[in-house]
Structure 1
Amino acid sequence: MWIEHSNKLTRTFTFADFREAFVFMTKVAELAEAQGHHPWWSNVYNKVTIELTTHDAGNVVTEKDYNLAEAIDIIHRKSS
């Protein structure tokens, strides 16, 4: 579940292992590049944490972030 806090939309995803986490990150990277909207993220073994905020709007959460979050959720559902 995405949580909006401190002008960021955040979610942590958990996978079976590092490889699955990395495959997910690769798919999200391709999506983000296509949308021109790049997340902040971190990866430790099987966990990927993503933070979304719109820099052009002054580092606040916008519809652009919610749209990307929804698309990321679709990728996650397909990879589960």
Structure 2
Amino acid sequence: MNKLDEKSILERLPSIKGWSFDNNKLTRSFKLDSFSEAVAFLVRIAIEAEKIDHHPDIRLFGWNNVEVTLQTHSVNGITENDFKLANSINLLYSYE
């Protein structure tokens, strides 16, 4: 998996609505209606991540907030897989 350079990342960032790029990572926070919906969303993210063998950092906080951080650890940066998973997560969130 090839690491994307910062220019490529910044050019593609608008394609994944709501995500930010900082400290060599993609991050987005999501607000759900309840604790159980937040947990269910987290599980759906995990299932989607497993499909592409990519494992994000996920944090559940404040009873209804989920924060996802994406980085391909093996290259210490952002790859196509990070953008693919970010897009999939956005689609999951839009179905909430």
Q: TM-score, normalised by structure 2?
A: 0.78
Matched with 1:17 is: 34
Residue type of the alignment partner of 2:19: W
- Deviation at 1:41? 1.2
**Cα distance in 2, alignment partners of residues 17 and 40 from structure 1:** 21
Higher strand fraction: Structure 1 or Structure 2? 1
Deviations 1:51-75 (A, max 9, x none): 0000121x11111101100000000
* Structure 2 runs not aligned, ≥5 long: 1-17
Contact 2:49 / 2:85 at 8 angstroms: preserved in 1?
Answer: yes
Percent identity of the aligned residues? 37
Alignment RMSD (CA, Å): 0.7
Total equivalences in the alignment: 78
Which aligned segments of 4 or more residues in structure 1 are displaced greater than 2 angstroms?
A: none
Q: TM-score, normalised by structure 1?
A: 0.93
